[in-house]
């Protein structure tokens, strides 16, 4: 697959034209797929506690159990993605999500809830490395970066709309309404399952191991010996710890206990977050295409540091209009930073990964994300429970500063192409790979990772022509 030559100012029409048919199918249904997730995502704890009479403490432990299962399966899932293909793993993951939602719709005991959460955790742990690997199998270069960003916006759109519909429909006094929304969540999984069995059935997202590459070179230990992988993993973990890991615990708790704003203000802040992401993501993508991804991450950390500072200042005027305005401004600024994060780290991860190890590279990144998402709420709960609100904000701002240091470290260890700088003059680029020294894959043609040629068994044939340098999947 030829390196994309998308201009920095290219529009949505050009991006869409450069996507293979499989990419269009995958992207065009994202909002529909995530609509069902949005129906239930904000209300799971409420459902467990107020509808199924499970204590808040136990409900919290059960929610954490999802992440534990996800972490346990992420490593094996990455290896199986490389061995069996991303499409097959996604089929298993989405099927597990469907089963889990059906069980949860009728769960009346903690044991049934735990069983449902095993399936949900399996989906979360498997789908991340598999989905990112599938995207990487059908996109490359600037198009890949744009894909990750636009996908993020559509995910937020679907979840946001689903949350609004679920909030209007679900009623704790009527348990049947919760059964309906969880069954709707399960039904939404039929969309990706249909895609994977239909239009995407030929794109399995598996690349053959290069000749001379040893099994040891593809182990997780060998991958983590790559300094670039270590620094990107640390960057991901810290970004989630000070970012997404605080959205469900740190931010709401601070806004209520320190800023003293109403729940309606908090709900409005999340709505603004979604609106900013959906409204600005493509504009941001046009601005950052062709720029160093590590520098984009530095801009993001500056925005996040400013957002946490604004939230911290609301504690000096709690309960008033200024506090409410500060909480809303926090989420607007934080969301703008999110539009910079999603197109960068996933693109760096997949661009530096050897084709045959992409599932494992994505699994390492997913594990870092999950660890940050678990530790973030725990630290926030301890600090805010002890009324260490100033120290909490200071910790997050210092964390943003440390992210800049990590971004510089990553920049020194990856190639310009991996960092988002186009290289139209070279047909071959040096990759930061973890392979056997005798293998000849450190300089890899920028070909579709799903295709090793007709009849190779590695995926659909991808061809380019001088008149059309963009990939055509057949």
- CA–CA dist 447, 208 (Å, integer): 13
Q: Any residues with CB less than 8 A from the CB of 389 and at least 6 apart, and which?
A: 254, 257, 258, 312, 315, 383
> For residue 9, is pLDDT > 60?
no
Higher pLDDT, 7 or 304: 304
Question: Mean pLDDT across the stretch 243-248?
Answer: 83
Higher pLDDT, 159 or 394: 394
Give me the pLDDT at residue 209, please. Answer: 64
3-state DSSP helix/strand/coil percent for the chain, to nearest 5? 70, 5, 25
Give me the pLDDT at residue 455, please. Answer: 35
How do the domains of the chain map onto residue ranges? 20-205, 217-422
Task: Determine which of 81-85, 319-323, 437-441 has the lowest per-residue pLDDT on average.
Answer: 437-441
Cβ atoms of 315 and 282 within 8 Å: the answer is: no
Question: Mean pLDDT across the stretch 64-92?
Answer: 90
> For residue 343, is pLDDT > 70?
yes
Question: Mean pLDDT across the stretch 111-138?
Answer: 92
State the chain's mean pLDDT as an integer.
82
Give me the pLDDT at residue 216, please. Answer: 55
> For residue 54, is pLDDT > 60?
yes
Give me the pLDDT at residue 429, please. Answer: 40
- CA–CA dist 266, 3 (Å, integer): 43
- Indicate the CATH number for domain 217-422: 1.20.1250.20
Q: What is the sign, positive or negative, of the torsion defined by CA atoms of 151, 134, 345, 92?
A: positive
Cβ atoms of 406 and 293 within 8 Å: the answer is: no
Give me the pLDDT at residue 213, please. Answer: 54
DSSP string, 406-426: HHHHHHHHS-TTTTT---TT-
Question: Mean pLDDT across the stretch 284-289?
Answer: 88
Give residue-wise pLDDT tens across range 325-340: 999 999 999 999 999 9
Give me the pLDDT at residue 461, please. Answer: 32
- CA–CA dist 282, 360 (Å, integer): 29
Residue 457 φ/ψ region, left for φ over 0, alpha for ψ in the -120 to 50 degree band, beta for the rest: left
Question: Mean pLDDT across the stretch 80-84?
Answer: 89
Give me the pLDDT at residue 38, please. Answer: 85
Give me the pLDDT at residue 354, please. Answer: 87
Question: Mean pLDDT across the stretch 87-111?
Answer: 95
Give me the pLDDT at residue 396, please. Answer: 97
Higher pLDDT, 458 or 181: 181
In order of 7, 18, 416, 422, the CA distances from 290 in angstroms are: 8, 16, 10, 6
Give me the pLDDT at residue 4, please. Answer: 40
Give residue-wise pLDDT tens across range 179-204: 999 999 999 999 999 999 998 888 76
Give me the pLDDT at residue 323, please. Answer: 95
- CA–CA dist 396, 458 (Å, integer): 44
Furthest-apart CA atoms within the chain: distance in Å: 68
In order of 33, 51, 65, 291, the CA distances from 106 in angstroms are: 22, 11, 19, 50
In order of 82, 223, 362, 374, 377, the CA distances from 76 in angstroms are: 10, 14, 12, 20, 26
Higher pLDDT, 52 or 148: 52
Tokens of 7: 């201009």
412 burial class (0-12, 13-18, 19+ CB within 10 angstroms)?
A: exposed
Name the band, by pLDDT with cuts 50, 70 and 90, for residue 8.
very low
- CA–CA dist 19, 30 (Å, integer): 15
Give me the pLDDT at residue 307, please. Answer: 97
- CA–CA dist 164, 184 (Å, integer): 14
Name the band, by pLDDT with cuts 50, 70 and 90, for residue 57.
confident
Which of 159, 173, 171, 209 has the alpha carbon at shortest distance from 32?
159
Residue whose token pair is 């969540």:
185
> For residue 443, is pLDDT > 50?
no
Q: Which of 104-118, 121-135, 269-283 holds the top average pLDDT?
A: 104-118
> For residue 286, is pLDDT > 60?
yes
> For residue 120, is pLDDT > 80?
yes
- CA–CA dist 183, 173 (Å, integer): 18
SS3 439: coil
Give me the pLDDT at residue 268, please. Answer: 85
Cβ atoms of 155 and 278 within 8 Å: the answer is: no
Question: Mean pLDDT across the stretch 439-460?
Answer: 36
Name the band, by pLDDT with cuts 50, 70 and 90, for residue 211.
low
Name the band, by pLDDT with cuts 50, 70 and 90, for residue 13.
confident
Question: Mean pLDDT across the stretch 220-234?
Answer: 92
Q: How would CATH label the architecture of 20-205?
A: Up-down Bundle (1.20)
> For residue 470, is pLDDT > 50?
no
Give me the pLDDT at residue 416, please. Answer: 92
Give me the pLDDT at residue 60, please. Answer: 77
Give me the pLDDT at residue 453, please. Answer: 36
């Amino acid at each position: 697959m030829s390196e994309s030559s998308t201009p920095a100012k290219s529009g949505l029409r050009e991006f869409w034209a450069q996507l293979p048919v499989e990419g269009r199918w995958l992207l065009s249904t994202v909002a529909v797929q995530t609509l069902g997730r949005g129906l239930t995502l904000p209300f799971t704890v409420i459902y467990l506690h107020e509808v199924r009479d499970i204590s808040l403490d136990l409900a919290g432990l059960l929610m954490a159990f999802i992440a534990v299962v996800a972490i346990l399966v992420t490593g094996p899932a990455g290896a199986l993605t490389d061995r069996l293909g991303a499409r097959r793993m996604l089929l298993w993951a989405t099927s597990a999500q469907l089963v889990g939602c059906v069980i949860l719709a009728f769960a009346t005991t903690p044991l049934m809830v735990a069983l449902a959460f095993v399936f949900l955790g399996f989906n979360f742990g498997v789908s991340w490395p598999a989905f990112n690997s599938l995207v990487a199998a059908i996109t490359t270069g600037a198009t890949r970066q744009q894909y990750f960003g636009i996908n993020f916006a559509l995910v937020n759109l679907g979840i946001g709309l689903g949350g609004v519909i679920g909030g209007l429909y679900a009623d704790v006094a009527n348990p049947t309404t919760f059964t309906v929304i969880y069954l709707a969540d399960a039904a939404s999984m039929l969309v990706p399952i249909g895609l994977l069995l239909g239009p995407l059935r030929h794109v399995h997202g598996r690349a053959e191991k290069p000749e001379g590459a040893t099994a040891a070179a593809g182990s997780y230990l060998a991958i983590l010996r790559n300094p670039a992988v270590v620094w990107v993993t640390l960057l991901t973990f810290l970004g989630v710890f000070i970012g997404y890991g605080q959205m469900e615990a740190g931010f709401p708790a601070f806004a209520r206990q320190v800023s003293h704003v109403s729940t309606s203000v908090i709900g409005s802040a999340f709505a603004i977050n979604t609106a900013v992401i959906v409204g600005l993501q493509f504009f941001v993508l046009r601005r950052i295409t062709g720029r160093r991804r590590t520098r984009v991450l530095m801009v993001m950390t500056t925005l996040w540091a400013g957002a946490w500072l604004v939230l911290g200042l609301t504690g000096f005027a709690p309960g008033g209009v200024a506090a409410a305005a500060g909480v809303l401004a926090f989420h607007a600024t934080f969301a703008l930073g999110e539009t910079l994060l999603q197109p960068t780290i996933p693109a760096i991860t997949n661009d530096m990964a050897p084709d045959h190890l992409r599932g494992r590279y994505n699994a390492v990144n997913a594990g870092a994300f999950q660890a940050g998402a678990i530790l973030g709420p725990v630290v926030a709960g301890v600090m805010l429970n002890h009324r260490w609100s100033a120290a909490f904000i200071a910790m997050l701002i210092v964390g943003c500063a440390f992210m800049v240091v990590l971004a510089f470290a990553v920049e020194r260890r990856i190639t310009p192409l991996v960092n988002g700088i186009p290289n139209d003059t070279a047909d071959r680029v040096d990759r930061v790979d973890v392979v056997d020294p005798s293998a000849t894959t450190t300089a890899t043609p920028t070909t579709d990772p799903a295709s090793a040629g007709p009849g190779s068994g590695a995926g659909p044939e991808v061809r380019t022509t001088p008149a059309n340098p963009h990939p055509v999947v057949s």
